[in-house]
Structure 1
Amino acid sequence: MLSEQIDVYCERTDFSFWSEPVNALTNAAFLIIAVIVWPRTRGNPMARALTVILFVIGLGSFAFHTTATRWGAMVDTLPILGFVLLYLFAASRDFLGMRAGRALLICLAFFPFAFACTLVFSHFGLGSSAAYSAVPLLIFLYALLLRSRAPKTSRGLALGATLLCLSIFMRWLDDPICATLPLGTHFLWHILNATMLGWMIHVYLTHMLEGRAQGR
Structure 2
Amino acid sequence: MEGLLRQIDGYCERVDPSYWAEPVNALTNAAFLIAAWVMWRRIGAASLPLGRVLCGLLAAIGVGSYLFHTHAQVWAALADVIPIVGFTLVYIFAANRDFWGWRAWASALGASAYIPFTAALTPVFEALPFFAISSFYWPLPVLIFAYAILLRRRAPGTARGLAIGAGILCVSLTFRSIDEPLCAAVPLGTHFLWHVLNGILLGWMIEVYRRHMLAGPADQG
For residue 190 of structure 1, the aligned residue among 176, 190, 195 is: 195
- What CA distance in whole angstroms lies between the structure 2 residues aligned with 1:122 and 1:92? 28
- What CA distance in whole angstroms lies between the structure 2 residues aligned with 1:36 and 1:104? 27
- What CA distance in whole angstroms lies between the structure 2 residues aligned with 1:107 and 1:128? 25
Instruction: Return the offset for 1:107.
Output: 1.4
In the alignment, which residue of structure 2 is the partner of 1:157? 162
Instruction: Return the offset for 1:40.
Output: 1.8
Question: Does 1:85 pair with 2:111?
Answer: no
For residue 103 of structure 1, the aligned residue among 99, 102, 107 is: 107
Amino acid at match of 2:6: E
Superposed CA deviations along residues 128-162 of structure 1, whole A, max 9, x for unmatched, are: 41100111111111101110011010000000000
Question: Does 1:119 pair with 2:131?
Answer: no
In the alignment, which residue of structure 1 is the partner of 2:134? 129
In the alignment, which residue of structure 1 is the partner of 2:21? 19
With normalisation by structure 1, the TM-score equals 0.97
For residue 35 of structure 1, the aligned residue among 24, 32, 37 is: 37
Instruction: Return the offset for 1:127.
Output: 2.9
Q: Secondary structure at the match of 1:13?
A: coil
- What CA distance in whole angstroms lies between the structure 1 residues aligned with 2:53 and 2:180? 34
For residue 53 of structure 2, the aligned residue among 40, 49, 54 is: 49
Amino acid at match of 1:203: V
Question: Does 1:74 pair with 2:48?
Answer: no
Instruction: Return the offset for 1:31.
Output: 0.5
- Bigger mean CA deviation after superposition, 28-37 or 57-66: 28-37
Question: Does 1:166 pair with 2:168?
Answer: no
Instruction: Return the offset for 1:41.
Output: 1.6
Q: Secondary structure at the match of 2:216?
A: helix
In the alignment, which residue of structure 2 is the partner of 1:141? 146
5+ unaligned residues in a row in structure 1: which ranges? Answer: none
Instruction: Return the offset for 1:33.
Output: 1.0
With normalisation by structure 2, the TM-score equals 0.94
Instruction: Return the offset for 1:213.
Output: 8.1
In the alignment, which residue of structure 2 is the partner of 1:10? 12
5+ unaligned residues in a row in structure 2: which ranges? Answer: none
Q: How many residues align?
A: 214
In the alignment, which residue of structure 2 is the partner of 1:209? 214
Identity %: 55
Amino acid at match of 2:29: N
In the alignment, which residue of structure 2 is the partner of 1:59? 63
- What CA distance in whole angstroms lies between the structure 2 residues aligned with 1:127 and 1:64? 21
RMSD: 1.1
Amino acid at match of 1:81: V
